């Protein structure tokens, strides 16, 4: 329990440092916020008045503490571009991004297990070699390239069976537009499956070579029983921390995918906020992404620590 508390404290301090960097980076963006809101025709008096109203005339350290204190009390501020509460905009974006990530992970995890087991069963065969080659390519290609290829294949003149733009009206559930989820989710799923399936393949091959499995085979158990009853439970355990890391990368990678498909999530909101220099929205979205990344990493570290402890305990008993 103590290592977990240490990691939690380290993560909290890291998030505080990230919040400070987010704040400073947002303030370092070129252009004047007051000018962008009022336009080029605004007088100097109007600009000064708006800066005072937004608190932009205060020292940076005071602006940061005010913003951070507001977040700790549930006040995320107000959007500078449309005057809506940032919390409302954030809730909508988080819901859509969580839906996209959840659908991707729900397909990715079982599919990775299936593909990895098949590759392990045909080790060094044609199927295995094709899978390894495809996985190397899929993990080397950036997400925006994968997404662009999918759009070219399924949303243009080649097949044209799916929309190239994931249009979801504000307030509507993404599940009401399943066709809008297919291409963004697939863009996230492909590299995740290829990475996790390789880990499953290696884990299954290692477990199948142990004396425990060989003894089960000598007892006359069927290959399917040996695989699913004895090999898989032992092979899957080391993959769980990696799956948590993939979930963290998925959350971080949705920014590119959402922007590519105009999917209305946290990533798209962040890009729009940067374009409009909407500082409260920028800070809120980046902080949410960083927090989600931290949570999944914390889960992965905890699971890895538990596996190491279980392994050490098993070796000591042996």
pLDDT at 188: 92
- Crossing angle of the two packed helices 279-317 and 239-261, in degrees rounded to 10: 160
- Sorted by sequence, the CB contacts under 8 Å of residue 240 that are 6+ apart come out as 303, 307
At 30-53, the pLDDT tens digits run 777 777 777 777 788 888 887 888
Residues forming CATH 1.10.3720.10 domain(s) in the chain: 86-316
pLDDT at 278: 86
Paired with 85 in beta bridges are 78
Burial class (CB in 10 A: 0-12, 13-18, 19+), 252: middle
Q: What is the arithmetic mean of pLDDT over 68-82?
A: 86
Instruction: Tokens for 317, please give them.
Output: 């008993």
CA-based end-to-end distance of the chain: 25
Average pLDDT for residues 67-74, to the nearest whole number? Answer: 88
- Whether the model pTM is above 0.85: no
Bridge partner list, 187: none
Neighbours of 200 (CB within 10 A): 26
d(CA 315, CA 145): 45
Q: How confident is the model over 70-90, as a mean pLDDT?
A: 87
Spatial CA neighbour of 252 closest among 284, 290, 282, 283 = 290
DSSP 155: S
CA distances to 7, 203, 231 from 237, rounded to whole Å, are: 22, 9, 11
With cut-offs at 50, 70 and 90, classify the pLDDT of residue 1.
low
**If you average pLDDT over residues 181-189, what whole number do you get?**
93
277 or 41: which leads in pLDDT:
277
CA–chain centroid gap for 58, Å, is 35
Provide the pLDDT for residue 58: 86
CA-to-CA distance for 18 and 294, rounded, in angstroms? 11
CA distances from 176 to 53, 99, 170, 179, 181 (A): 41, 12, 12, 9, 10
Q: What are phi and psi of 14, to 5 degrees?
A: -65, -40
Q: Which of these ranges, 49-53, 122-126, 177-181, has the smallest mean pLDDT?
A: 49-53
**pLDDT at 131 exceeding the cut of 80:** yes
Q: What is the dihedral of CA 233, 239, 241, 247, to 10 degrees?
A: -120
How far is residue 227's CA from residue 211's CA, in Å, rounded to a whole number? 14
* Torsions phi, psi for 255 (to 5 deg): -60, -50
Handedness of CA 249, 255, 260, 263 (dihedral sign): positive
Could you tell me if 270 and 86 are in contact, meaning their C-beta atoms sit under 8 angstroms apart?
A: no
pLDDT at 317 over 60: no
Multiple choice CATH, 86-316, 1.10.3720.10, 3.40.50.12780, 2.40.160.10, 2.160.10.10? 1.10.3720.10
Please write the tens of the pLDDT for every residue from 234-271: 777 777 778 887 888 787 778 889 999 999 999 888 88
287-300 pLDDT, tens digit each: 888 888 888 878 77
Checking if the pLDDT of 307 tops 70, the result is: no
Task: Give me the mean pLDDT over the 142-146 stretch.
Answer: 90
**pLDDT grade, residue 182 (50/70/90)?**
very high
Angstrom distance (rounded) from CA 45 to CA 31: 18
Per the listing, tokens 């404290």 go with 9
22-30 CB contacts, 8 Å cutoff, 24+ apart: 22/282, 22/283, 22/286, 22/287, 22/290, 23/60, 23/63, 23/64, 23/67, 23/283, 24/60, 26/279, 26/282, 26/283, 27/60, 27/63, 27/279, 29/274, 29/277, 29/279, 29/282
pLDDT value of residue 132 = 92
239 burial type by CB count under 10 A (0-12 exposed, 13-18 middle, 19+ buried): buried
């Amino acid at each position: 329990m103590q290592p977990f508390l240490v990691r939690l404290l380290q993560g909290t301090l890291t998030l505080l440092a990230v919040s400070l960097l987010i704040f400073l980076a947002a303030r370092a963006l070129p252009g004047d916020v007051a000018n962008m809101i009022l336009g080029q025709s605004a007088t100097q008096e109007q600009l000064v008045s708006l800066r005072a109203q937004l608190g932009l005339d205060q020292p940076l350290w005071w602006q940061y503490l005010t913003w951070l204190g507001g977040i700790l009390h549930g006040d995320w501020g107000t959007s500078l571009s449309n005057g809506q509460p940032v919390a409302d905009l954030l809730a909508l974006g988080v819901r859509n991004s969580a839906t996209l990530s959840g659908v991707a992970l729900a397909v990715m995890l079982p599919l990775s297990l299936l593909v990895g087991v098949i590759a392990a069963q045909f080790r060094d065969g044609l199927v295995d070699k094709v899978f390894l080659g495809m996985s190397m390519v899929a993990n080397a290609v950036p997400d925006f390239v994968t997404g662009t290829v999918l759009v070219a294949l399924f949303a243009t003149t080649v097949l044209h069976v799916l929309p190239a733009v994931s249009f979801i009206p504000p307030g509507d559930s993404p599940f009401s537009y399943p066709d809008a989820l297919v291409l963004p989710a697939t863009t996230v799923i492909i590299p995740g499956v290829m990475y996790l399936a390789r880990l499953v393949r290696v884990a299954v091959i290692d477990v199948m070579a142990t004396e425990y499995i060989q003894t089960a085979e000598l007892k006359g158990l069927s290959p399917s029983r040996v695989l699913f009853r004895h090999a898989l439970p032992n092979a899957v355990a080391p993959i769980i921390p990696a799956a948590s890391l993939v979930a963290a990368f998925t959350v971080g990678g949705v920014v590119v995918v959402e922007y590519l498909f105009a999917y209305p999530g946290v990533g798209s909101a962040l890009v729009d906020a940067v374009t409009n220099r909407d500082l409260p929205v920028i800070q809120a979205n980046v902080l949410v992404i960083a927090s989600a990344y931290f949570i999944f990493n914390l889960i992965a570290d905890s699971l890895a620590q538990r596996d190491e402890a279980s392994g050490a305990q098993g070796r000591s008993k042996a």
